[in-house]
Structure 1
Amino acid sequence: MIRAIRNILWHPFLTIGFAVLLTSCNVETERPNFILIQMDDLGWDDLSVHGNQIIETPTIDRLAGESVQFNQFYVNPVCAPTRASLLTGRDFLRTGVSHVNGGKEYLNPGETIIAEIFSEAGYVTGMWGKWHSGGTDGYLPGERGFDEVYRAKLYRHKDNFGVLNGKDVQHSKWADEVLISYAIEFITENRDKPFFAYLPSMTCHGPLEAPEEYIQKNIEKGLSRNLATLYGMVEHFDFQLQRLIEAVDELGLAEHTVILFMSDNGPAVNNGAFTDEDRQIRYVSGLKGHKGNIWENGVKSPLFIRWKDHYKPTTVNNLADVTDILPTLLDIAGIELPTSNLPLDGRSIRPVLEANIPEQWPEKLAYNYANPGWPPSDLPWTPEGIKDEYRPVEPGTKQDLKIEDQIIYVRSERYKLLLNPDVEHNGGTLEGGYALYDILKDPLEKINIIKDHPETAEQLKMELDQWFEGIKQAPHSFEMPLFLIGKDGRKDNIIKGQAPVRISSNLKNTVGTLNGWREAGDFAEYSIEVITPGDYSIIINHASSHASGASIMVSVGEERITGTLTDKQKSEPGVISLKQGKALLRLEITDVPEGSPEIIMDKLRSIELMLQ
């Protein structure tokens, strides 16, 4: 019988571990530090420690050799969902995150994240790198428990710039060098205090860029320039990581610091950059799939956990997933989960790290989800054309979502049941949309055994049904972001066009804009909370209008203003009076001049509200 373990910490170990720390060292200065390193689009096969004979990652290999290495550790198919689970210890769909971009990456402010818990417990906290969990007031890392923050410009690898503790900064260095330097400075300054340091690198997310000497070295090995560049990105990060680990060791912190290394999802397809031959070279293990789907290569990640003189270096096959990181770190640190915290989905894997697993330790079930608008196709590494993946789930309609329309799986220690993974194109057959694999015997997912194990399949189907129903009941699931207007008296407030809660049928939401405004009646609604009441001038930022003179209306509650679209990139309908509290802001086309082209306004970028 498979028994799920959800929503608990491993309390006996938490209590015992905390008692040991109290009796052996000064709690304020000697509670263990944590350095959490997260890569971006790094695949299982992108490390020499995992059998890649071309790439050279000596620092990561050495870290792995000094760590507990997990052979069965899983993340989510794309980055924002993994980050949501990592930061909260909860299945990402419960947190308001349901995809990457298009407003679906915002981590609900009602969720408590790991930095807030560590900060409340007396840790100094820092984060440098990629923050992909919401880019507006109320969602930023400095507002969510991080004392020091460098929010890097996304995917600007060379001459990176960003926001350091609220101020714009520019660097003439590679991004990984910048992040590591900030982290070294942070741990040096705080070496006498317990700290939590989070380093989400952007390596090896596109665009493919690396120092030329790394590229040439790999070209000389016979690689294409693009694959040589990707390997160069990883190798350059490896060199920078050496600086960080040496700093930890030289500061005498190795025995007091837990270092974790992981990725956020599987390798990206990089259509237009990589050939099939490139991918054959890269995917040395033969794992099926890629970033964005639920095959093993889309969700299997390295996990190395080093704590010198505490954890014996070894390799383990225990199942773990990204929701387990937060409860594990709290357990190691002896920190109680706040009573106000929403229930966790992960559990502490400290017993695995200490090679002290109790006989009655329940078997874990791990769940995963890929956005159904981004389905796999007939080749393991070629995604189908992107569908309407960013359309919001309208308020009050998530209970109508049907499990048979989803791309999801449930994984036990041995078996993996997938729903709608597109098996028919990958050498298998679907049985009612489902496929079952014995991952321990068949890690490449070649043999669908669902007909041979009907009882196991039915039991896992039941678990998957219950899980998805629970997701729909979760208060934050499938919620689009709430925009705070006038927070701390802010005068310039931005509502991002791609983050509506409801849109008319003509419109198509995209990564960064809301497109396809065609006719009178087209509308979009946004969730706002007015913190500072008052009069706000409205500016509509859009691509050049194809129908100058079309009438628009902006309304919030009973307040409304009207104006016209211009053929410039801004339209200013006027000033609206806003009361304090939550509301919906609606932008609507009310009239279109005769003879207008089919597309009136192609791209809505943002709605700007300026406090008068």
Structure 2
Amino acid sequence: MKTDKVNRRGFLRLMMSTSAAVAFTGSASVANAMRSKTVSSETAADKLSPPRKRPNVLLIISDDQGYGDFGFMDNQIVRTPNIDELARAGALLRNYSTGAACSPARSMLYTGRNHLLTGVWGVPIRQNLRTDETMMPAFFKAGGYETFYIGKDDCPAQVHTLPWFAGWNDALAGGGYQHKDPVLRRKPDGEMPLQWQNNKYEGWTSEIWTDEAVNFIKEKKDKPWLLTMAYIIPHLPWEPVDERYAPYYREKGCSDNIAACFSHIEQMDACIGRLLDTLAQTGQDRDTIVVFVSDNGQTGPSAREVDKDGHIDTPDWNIRNVAGLRGSKTLVWENGVRVPLIVRYPGVIPAGGRNQFAAAEDILPTLLDYAGIDDDIVSHKPFCGVSLRRALDDKDTLVEHPEIFRMTIWGEGMVKAPRGFVPDPPSLRLEDHHVSLCGPKYKLHVRPGGRVELYDKVNDIQETRDLSKEQPKITARMLAECRRRWDYAINEGGAFRMAPILIGDPSTWKYPDGTYWGYAGKVQDVSGEMYVTNVLQGFALAGDSAAYQLDVAKQGKYAIRLTGKELTNAAPLSITAAGQTITQQKATDNSIEFGVLNLPKGKIPLTVAAGETEKKTKAVSVERILFSLAQ
């Protein structure tokens, strides 16, 4: 087995802030090698075959489909014939690490960077993908590709902006995990429309999305394209059940829950079969790189029964967790972050398994390498991932890979915030959390209380034997590196901070009438009896306040309004920003209207505060802050 220490893309683009990226990833050896030698990306297949056109890219992302939710991964019950065939015909990487939940994983797929550095440290409202991050489609669009985003509305654009401003030419997206008869958001006609068009559809969401994808593949066959297919299967809820497939699983003795879950997986598999058939029918299969990956590990009703050591033992869980991995979605045990990766490129990438270690951050640099797109084509922050091309092209080659940092985002070991946010990130201590540092062979866990464990994840995939005492030097080195990554993410990377509220930018997601808005839970600080869940709760007492950061793209006069529930029960409120204070003028259960503030361009603080009152008050839920630019 050869080890390729010099990778064409490397794990960083050295011309772009190498020192900063190396500071987080610790890949100085790769960086130094890149300085001294350039390796051609030409492969044996390139020399023997006639020149190919630039490959299309079909990136398929499933949602919460775990390591054992496939036939090709030795699950004897679930039926995934099309994905199984894709795995047989492509390169299969089983030692692949993703994020512990949806938003962290997708932010890494689309940026090539660790999710903490992009501002994402959980799922909404902790999904704060920064507006200065460059997304995957921007590179491909600049390289002459048609780009289309279809699927789950999770990180297809930076926080609170529209996908086509991130580089997707077109988009059809949806949220709310509507498996059937959904309301979906579609990009209206025009180059850069300023809002979504919402439409009601009939049928299964995944099949509606697949119909759109099939049409796109047929229409764009004469031009290279990037198609992102982000299915919402098998994320909860598993209702309505797809009764075309569920009876088979009930007959196999599955519970109603597992029958429902597997019915959706089989439904998605059939959709993927349609995509692959369309590539073959249009003659594009040999010119298309197909990547299949799940965003994170398994979750489901049984996941709530996970113990503090990541063990789950229920009949339902064991049917899915055929490899006996520890943990579940949201945790950094293997069943939370380990999923299979499939890459198919007929005639270029030989079929078969790979021993290569890989991570979510690698997908973007790898695809750019195959497409022949230099990442300097657009400005971007340094990648944390490496191109896997040489390991994919040659089964006997291993690309040197930096260790990767992951963190638990829910449950024991998550970043705890008594009020739902982190007012002082530098005060967070590594020892209070559950994080991991993972390399090709060893994986270090740091658990709450400072407990340290080391596992050989190649020979002990179930993480059963702690080697920290047997391998003290490896443990000490990885612990020091883990601490350095943690400190860098907080102090230099800006992790664990809520996003600013962006207003006045035409690319900002807004209401149809042009009203800009931000989530009220995106606070920077609070005082009094206030706390954050998915909304901001409080304002019952004088002195209750919430502080925000505004990012004003266009100077002007903005009328401000709050929306929420039972707002007439709050104490009287005022808003202060840019040296001006306005008070509430009209309140209903669902809305509080204020006056107008003249806001300068730039980043400025804004505070909402409760005043004195003699009326009876109680805590209320504030969902959004709205800004209407006065004409």
Q: What is the TM-score of this pair, normalised by structure 2?
A: 0.86
Matches within 5 A, 1:90-489: 90-102=113-125, 104-133=126-155, 139-165=161-187, 166-209=196-239, 210-270=241-301, 276-338=314-376, 340-355=379-394, 361-371=399-409, 374-375=411-412, 388=417, 391-394=420-423, 397-420=424-447, 432-488=450-506
Q: What letter corresponds to residue 107 of structure 1 in structure 2? A: L
Cα deviation for residue 566 of structure 1 reads 4.0
- Of all paired residues, the percent bearing the same amino acid is 28
Q: What letter corresponds to residue 393 of structure 2 in structure 1? A: E
CA root-mean-square deviation: 2.9
* Residue matched to 1:5: 27
Q: 1:19 to 1:484 in 2, by over 3 A?
A: farther
Q: Deviations over 1:38-87 (max 9, x none)?
A: 01111111111111111111011011100100110010101100011111
Q: Partner of 1:488: helix, strand, or coil?
A: coil
Distance 1:406 1:387 in 2: 8
Q: 1:176 to 1:260 in 2, by over 3 A?
A: same
Q: 1:137 to 1:294 in 2, by over 3 A?
A: closer
* Residue matched to 2:612: 591
Distance 1:459 1:501 in 2: 35
Q: 1:473 to 1:13 in 2, by over 3 A?
A: farther
Cα deviation for residue 272 of structure 1 reads 9.5
For structure 2, the residue ranges without an aligned partner over 5 or more in a row are 6-24, 188-195, 306-312
Q: Deviations over 1:86-129 (max 9, x none)?
A: 11111110001111012x21211111111101111111111100
Q: 1:15 to 1:63 in 2, by over 3 A?
A: closer
Q: Partner of 2:546: helix, strand, or coil?
A: strand
Q: Partner of 1:235: helix, strand, or coil?
A: helix
Matches within 5 A, 1:39-78: 39-78=62-101
Cα deviation for residue 522 of structure 1 reads 1.5
Distance 2:613 2:318 in 1: 53
* Residue matched to 1:381: none
For structure 1, the residue ranges without an aligned partner over 5 or more in a row are 377-383, 423-429
Distance 2:469 2:323 in 1: 27
Distance 1:608 1:69 in 2: 47
Q: What letter corresponds to residue 600 of structure 1 in structure 2? A: A
* Residue matched to 2:536: 514
Distance 1:565 1:388 in 2: 33
The answer to whether the 8 A contact 1:14-1:332 is kept is no
Cα deviation for residue 137 of structure 1 reads 7.3
Distance 2:467 2:211 in 1: 50
Q: What is the TM-score of this pair, normalised by structure 1?
A: 0.88
The answer to whether the 8 A contact 2:350-2:395 is kept is no
Q: 1:288 to 1:475 in 2, by over 3 A?
A: closer
Cα deviation for residue 4 of structure 1 reads 5.1
Cα deviation for residue 214 of structure 1 reads 1.4
The answer to whether the 8 A contact 1:552-1:564 is kept is no
Cα deviation for residue 483 of structure 1 reads 2.4
Cα deviation for residue 475 of structure 1 reads 4.3
Distance 2:581 2:44 in 1: 58
* Residue matched to 1:494: 517
Q: 1:387 to 1:456 in 2, by over 3 A?
A: closer
Matches within 5 A, 1:22-37: 24-25=50-51, 30-37=53-60
Q: What letter corresponds to residue 578 of structure 1 in structure 2? A: L
Q: Deviations over 1:363-392 (max 9, x none)?
A: 531221123x5327xxxxxxx9x9648833
Distance 2:159 2:628 in 1: 15
The answer to whether the 8 A contact 2:133-2:158 is kept is no
Distance 2:356 2:157 in 1: 36
* Residue matched to 1:16: 42
* Residue matched to 2:17: none
Distance 1:16 1:254 in 2: 21
**How many residues end up aligned between the 2 structures?**
581
Q: Deviations over 1:283-339 (max 9, x none)?
A: 111111100101000000110100111111111122111001111111111111127
Q: Partner of 1:129: helix, strand, or coil?
A: strand
Q: What letter corresponds to residue 32 of structure 1 in structure 2? A: P
Q: Partner of 2:86: helix, strand, or coil?
A: helix
Q: 1:526 to 1:24 in 2, by over 3 A?
A: farther
Distance 1:400 1:176 in 2: 44
Q: Deviations over 1:207-246 (max 9, x none)?
A: 1133212122211221111110000000001111111100
Distance 1:18 1:476 in 2: 43
Which shows bigger deviation, 239-248 or 474-483? 474-483
Q: 1:190 to 1:135 in 2, by over 3 A?
A: closer
Q: 1:440 to 1:389 in 2, by over 3 A?
A: farther
Q: 1:363 to 1:128 in 2, by over 3 A?
A: closer
The answer to whether the 8 A contact 2:62-2:293 is kept is yes
